[in-house]
Amino acid sequence: MAKLLVCDPVDSNAVAALQQTGVEVVVQDSITLDELAEVIGEYDGMVVRSRTKVREPLLDKATNMKVIIRGGVGLDNIDVEYARGKGIKVLNTPSASSNAVAELAVGLMFALARHISKADASMKAGNWDKKKLKGTELAGKTLGVIGYGRIGRCVAEKARALGMHVVAYDPYIEHEDIIPFEELLKIADYVTLHLPHTEDTHHLLSTGQFAIMKQGAYLVDAARGGIIDEAALYQSLSDGHLAGAALDVYSQEPPQDELLRKLVALPQVVATPHIGAATQESQGRIGGEIVKLVQEHLA
């Protein structure tokens, strides 16, 4: 019987379903990397989310591994090519969390436009700052979507329903919405990121790109940390060139170093703790896709 290790939290209904697939399922959803290195050789498959990092030294110990399933979209926490070079299948659940992430991105735009976080904090402090909290509307604004895959197009659909004009940039996709990268930065009132963090996208937005963006523009990142040069973003916000940013992901999670803590603390920043896929519905869909992948590739 094949053995499957679930390394990160997965929907409880999915765990119950996995146990009916004919696979021996072991759930250790808070396992450390040191602990994982000691036992990984016993398993034929593993399920991870974003917490567990599956790097080359760990893969060298995965002597029986046949499949790694990433519950979610991004694969940047797995050394994919190295794993595949060892004959290990690396699979993900790309469609399960798309709507959840897209809804968060739109919600973050509303939070920026209408100062929702500030208004809430003010009310909880016993204040009535109505005159200080005049916002703007999303309708009529231009949204620039960088990364036009499933999530990017889902955001675009919702933005159009709000009356926004949508343009996009993606070097791997042909679509009528696609325009050159610098042109997008110049005309967008809001820029939202929906692409993986790779060598090519590392610090895709830095000092030069922020300078090109419209004075008073807003930036939303619910994709991956590392795509934004956070030091450059802090400077652009502090200088008043960008009006605000909403961040769900960071180069270090949770943010610990001084720069990130200063960035998150800026009043122009709305910050959330990587909750893009954290909905009941999304977790259920992710769990269902994990079960299907186990049935197809391991059971």
Residue 222 is part of a domain; what is its CATH number? 3.40.50.720
Tell whether the model's pLDDT for residue 103 goes beyond 90.
Answer: yes
Q: Are residues 146 and 252 in the same domain?
A: yes
274 is catalytic: yes
**Which amino acid is it at 138?**
L
224 is catalytic: yes
Beta strands in 2-81 (DSSP E): 3-6, 24-27, 45-48, 67-70
Beta strands in the chain (DSSP E): 3-6, 24-27, 45-48, 67-70, 89-92, 142-146, 165-169, 190-193, 218-221, 244-247, 269-271
Q: Are residues 255 and 284 in the same domain?
A: no
In this prediction the pTM is: 0.89
Sheet of 190-193, strands arranged across: 165-169, 142-146, 190-193, 218-221, 244-247, 269-271
Can you give the pLDDT at residue 75?
86
Distance CA 162, CA 294 (A): 39
Distance CA 104, CA 151 (A): 11
Q: How confident is the model at residue 76 (pLDDT cuts 50, 70, 90)?
A: confident
The per-residue pLDDT of the chain, averaged, comes to 95
Q: Are residues 24 and 168 in the same domain?
A: no
Torsion-angle region of 147 (φ positive above 0: left; ψ -120 to 50: alpha; else: beta) = left
Percent of the chain at pLDDT > 90 equals 93
Q: Are 114 and 121 in contact (CB under 8 A)?
A: no
- Better-predicted residue by pLDDT, 105 or 198: 105
Q: Are residues 145 and 38 in the same domain?
A: no
Question: Shortest CA distance to 212 belongs to which of 146, 114, 137?
Answer: 146
Q: Are residues 107 and 229 in the same domain?
A: yes
For residues 138-142, give the mean pLDDT.
98
Tell whether the model's pLDDT for residue 299 goes beyond 90.
Answer: no
For residues 29-47, give the mean pLDDT.
95
Q: Which of 150, 153, 224, 285 is catalytic?
A: 224
- CA 114 vs CA 110, 120, 266: distances in Å: 6, 11, 16
Q: What is the pLDDT of residues 50-59, one digit of tens each?
A: 899 999 999 9
Tell whether the model's pLDDT for residue 73 goes beyond 90.
Answer: no
Q: Are residues 39 and 173 in the same domain?
A: no
Q: How confident is the model at residue 98 (pLDDT cuts 50, 70, 90)?
A: very high
Q: Which of 202, 241, 274, 297 is catalytic?
A: 274
Q: How confident is the model at residue 245 (pLDDT cuts 50, 70, 90)?
A: very high
Q: Which of 56, 253, 281, 296 is catalytic?
A: 253
For tokens 């939303």, what's the residue? 220
Q: State whether the Cα torsion 189-195-199-200 is positive or negative.
A: negative
Q: What is the pLDDT of residues 266-277, one digit of tens each?
A: 999 999 999 999
Tell whether the model's pLDDT for residue 94 goes beyond 90.
Answer: no
Can you give the pLDDT at residue 1?
87
Can you give the pLDDT at residue 206?
98
Q: Are residues 48 and 179 in the same domain?
A: no
Q: Are residues 124 and 254 in the same domain?
A: yes
**Overall number of domains in the chain:** 2
Q: Are residues 59 and 196 in the same domain?
A: no
For residues 72-88, give the mean pLDDT.
91
Structural domain boundaries enclosing 207: 98-271
- CA 6 vs CA 80, 192, 263, 276: distances in Å: 18, 32, 34, 21
Q: Are residues 49 and 142 in the same domain?
A: no
Q: Are residues 246 and 114 in the same domain?
A: yes
Q: Are residues 250 and 285 in the same domain?
A: no
Q: What is the pLDDT of residues 147-198, one digit of tens each?
A: 999 999 999 999 999 999 999 999 999 999 999 999 999 999 999 999 999 9
Tell whether the model's pLDDT for residue 114 goes beyond 90.
Answer: yes
115 is catalytic: no
Can you give the pLDDT at residue 95?
83
β-sheet bridge partners, residue 193: 146, 221
